[in-house]
């Protein structure tokens, strides 16, 4: 069994498209106002393993009980990936992932290519 202490933080990836960017903006502004989070850049094109436009919201483990339930109730039908940061990007984005809304097909090959090699 793994211990929760290996989780150094969480990321929420909020996905949007041109029709839902205003909703994503509203959610982003609320997250920045209500919680101690770090708001990442807007990516209006797919980037890395992410199949559509998104921005990332990073937050500490102690913020999970506040941020994630708020996202559950206020995502306005946007799809959101929430995952821990454990140092294993592939597993964090797959086996450890929590999806709000639809589960999107991530480009896991991208993550496997950048995965650090064991020494």
Q: What is the pLDDT of residue 119?
A: 43
pLDDT < 50 stretches in the chain: 118-119
Indicate the burial class of 3 (C-beta count within 10 angstroms; 0-12, 13-18, 19 or more).
Answer: exposed
Q: What is the pLDDT of residue 113?
A: 82
How far is Cα 97 from Cα 42, in angstroms, rounded to an integer?
21
Q: What is the pLDDT of residue 115?
A: 62
Phi-psi category of 88—alpha, beta or left, where left has phi over 0 and alpha has psi -120 to 50?
A: beta
What is this structure's pTM?
Answer: 0.90
Q: How many CA atoms lie less than 13 Å away from 41 in the CB half-sphere?
A: 5
How far is Cα 20 from Cα 49, in angstroms, rounded to an integer?
20
């Amino acid at each position: 069994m793994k211990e929760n202490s290996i989780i150094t933080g969480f990321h929420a990836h909020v996905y949007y498209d041109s029709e839902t960017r205003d909703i994503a903006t509203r959610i982003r502004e609320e997250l920045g106002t209500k919680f101690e989070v770090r708001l990442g850049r807007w990516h209006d094109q797919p980037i890395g393993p992410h199949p559509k436009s998104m921005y990332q919201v990073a937050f500490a483990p102690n913020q999970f009980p506040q941020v994630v339930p708020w996202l559950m109730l206020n995502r306005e039908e946007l799809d959101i990936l929430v995952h821990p940061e454990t140092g294993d990007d592939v597993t964090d984005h797959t086996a450890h992932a929590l999806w709000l809304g639809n589960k999107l097909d991530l480009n896991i090959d991208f993550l496997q290519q950048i995965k650090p090699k064991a020494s």
